[in-house]
Chains A and B, each alone.
Chain A
Amino acid sequence: MKNFFTCIDITLTSPQPEQLSLCRQHAINNGGEVVFYGSEDLSCHEKQSFILYKLKKTDNISDVVFFTINQFCYDTKINIKLMSDIINSNYGLHFARENLIFQSNEDLYKFRVEILAYFHSFKRLSKSIK
């Protein structure tokens, strides 16, 4: 049984229980359960300074599920370095909304076109909505 840490998107106006519900369902669908909850602080959500630090000091976590990949797109560049660091620290990396799972850097590499294109599209859309 995998033990998931879930990290919801603090910037969204949608109720947090809805995000948690999707993350929980994702964990169940992938042979695990959510055992710990958290989120980035608003002051550092763009750089995501909290999550890897918190993962490392929490015992018995095998995977981390984020509500959305958007959480890695709030800075000026996509934070793919953090994705890679999470994987290199031996955590499975999941995104509930997009139903994506990365267990290795190879998984990440194979999906690079989709992720990079998504980031550019996300930034363009965010700009037009503002």
Chain B
Amino acid sequence: MIDFSNGYCVVETKNLEILKDLRSKIYDEVKKIFNIKELNIDEGFNLFHNHIKNETAGSLNSKRIELIKNINKNIDITYKIYEAFEDYIVELIGPDVLGQKIANLVIQIPNDQNPGEIHRDAPANSPYEIVMWVPLVDSYGTKTMSILDYENTKINLKNLKENNNWEQLEKNVYNKSPQLDVKFGQALIFMTSLLHGAKINKEKTTRFSLNTRFKNIFAPSGLKNQLQFFKKIKESNLVKYGSHIELEELLK
């Protein structure tokens, strides 16, 4: 059983080969788009910033967008992540699973002044979704994710409403967040309604991480159109047969 009492947990894949294969395919695209010759995947990701020193911000962003487009076109990232962490996902949301169509890739180079700002996904996402945050390199120190547990998220949102002080909220998230070292082969799973974000990466290496979302097929959706953002990953026999019966009734 996973301990999800705080609304998040760090879990280890039971099938590292799937993640290694996924990482390798993503690295192939990175090499192609950024013209990187390094053969060692770990070195290539961690020292990515050394290869892009001459890129302008505009060109870097265009290539990043091209990379996300290409990897999602060529690899079913969400399904791979599902396979790598299936037991945990099914334990949390059940056997009837929707997964995000397009997975996100985040590249956090050292001293990048624009890390992922503090936010929560739900609302507008459904609070019944889970986020899978999957680093492609070992993530530690300031290179990892900051996250508030459920109780502290509630307290801080209440304070924000009363004081309207976003700077204070940001400080609190960073101060109260546990140090979550997440190695390659592990994933951070968390509720979409938790406050989370990233600090400026003060480590000497670059972080590459994936994130995608899963929800039960029949769990209430958020404001995002479920058919637009999600696809079916797996269904139980019960839902397979139940939906057959419902369809037959509707077609009468």
Q: A117–B244 Cα gap in the complex (Å)?
A: 12
B227:A112 contact, CB within 8 angstroms:
no
| Residues from chain B with Cβ under 8 Å of A114 in the complex | 98, 217, 227, 231-232
Q: A109–B244 Cα gap in the complex (Å)?
A: 8
A98:B227 contact, CB within 8 angstroms:
yes
Interface string of B236-252 (1 = CB under 8 A from A): 00011001101100111
| Residues from chain A with Cβ under 8 Å of B98 in the complex | 114, 117
A98:B220 contact, CB within 8 angstroms:
no
B220:A125 contact, CB within 8 angstroms:
yes
CB distance from A116 to the nearest CB of B (A): 5
A interface, size bucket: 20 to 34
Q: A78–B227 Cα gap in the complex (Å)?
A: 15
**Contact among B232, B244, B251 for A80, CB-based, below 8 A:** B251
On whether A81 and B251 interact (CB within 8 A), knowing A112-B243, A113-B239, A117-B218, the answer reads yes
Q: A120–B235 Cα gap in the complex (Å)?
A: 16
Q: A95–B225 Cα gap in the complex (Å)?
A: 13
A79: nearest residue on chain B (CB-CB)? Answer: B250
| Residues from chain A with Cβ under 8 Å of B96 in the complex | 113
B222: nearest residue on chain A (CB-CB)? Answer: A125
B251:A84 contact, CB within 8 angstroms:
yes
B250:A78 contact, CB within 8 angstroms:
yes
B247:A112 contact, CB within 8 angstroms:
yes
Chosen A-B contacts, 30 in total, with CB atoms closer than 8 Å, are: A77-B250, A78-B250, A80-B250, A81-B250, A81-B252, A95-B227, A97-B225, A97-B228, A98-B225, A112-B243, A112-B244, A112-B247, A113-B96, A113-B217, A113-B243, A114-B231, A114-B232, A115-B227, A116-B243, A116-B246, A117-B217, A117-B226, A118-B226, A118-B227, A121-B226, A122-B221, A124-B220, A124-B221, A125-B220, A125-B221
Residues of A near any B CB (own CB < 8 A): 68-69, 77-78, 80-81, 84, 95, 97-100, 109, 112-118, 120-122, 124-125
